[in-house]
């Protein structure tokens, strides 16, 4: 039986570092028709921020949150990764709404992540989908 490892959790016997960055905060602020989404990721007692600004409508909110998450990851890795958000979308799957993110890593690898949209809203789902796409690649990079 496999056990899921929560973000920010130490992996016993492997390392004393967390397995992956933890989402510390997702903040939104509006200014007229514009929305600013700021993401904070925690890694090794440091906080890394990313932000994106754009249209405040709901459909753009997913993309803004995903772009802010990528910026936070790029800062966390010191620019060692070349990341591009190719697409972010949502769909209804049975009784739940799902956020999907497609990310290009470096020049040739396309990663996809998903997250269930819960009561914490569309920005949280988009950020979690981006992190789901990247987490398996981030672990080895950050552990090295």
Residue range 85-119, pLDDT digits in tens: 999 999 999 999 999 999 999 989 999 999 999 99
- DSSP secondary structure string for all residues of 25-88: EEEEEEETTEEEEEEEEEETTEEEEEEEEEE-SHHHHHHHHHHHHHHHHHHHTTT-S-EEEEEE
Question: Considering the chain, what percentage of its residues have pLDDT values greater than 90?
Answer: 69
**CATH code linked to domain 22-143:** 3.30.160.270
Spans of all domains in the chain: 22-143
The SS3 of residue 136 is helix
| pLDDT reading at 6 higher than 60 | no
pLDDT band at 3 (very low <50, low <70, confident <90, very high): very low
Q: What pLDDT is recorded for position 105?
A: 94
pLDDT at 2 (0 to 100): 44
Phi, psi angles (nearest 5°) of residue 20: -165, 165
Specify which residues 88 forms β-bridges with. 101
């Amino acid at each position: 039986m496999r056990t899921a490892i929560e973000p920010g959790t130490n992996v016993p016997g492997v390392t004393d570092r967390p397995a992956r960055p933890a989402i510390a905060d997702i903040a939104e602020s509006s200014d007229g028709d514009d929305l600013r989404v700021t993401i904070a990721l925690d890694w090794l007692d440091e906080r890394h921020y990313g932000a994106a600004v754009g249209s405040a409508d709901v459909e753009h909110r997913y993309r803004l949150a995903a772009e802010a998450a990528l910026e936070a990851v790029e800062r966390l890795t010191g620019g060692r990764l070349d990341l591009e958000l190719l697409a972010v979308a949502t769909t209804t799957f049975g009784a739940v709404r799902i956020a999907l993110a497609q990310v290009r890593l470096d020049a040739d690898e396309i990663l996809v992540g998903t997250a269930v949209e819960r009561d914490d809203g569309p920005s949280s789902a988009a950020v979690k989908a981006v992190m789901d796409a990247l987490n398996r690649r981030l672990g080895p990079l950050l552990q090295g």
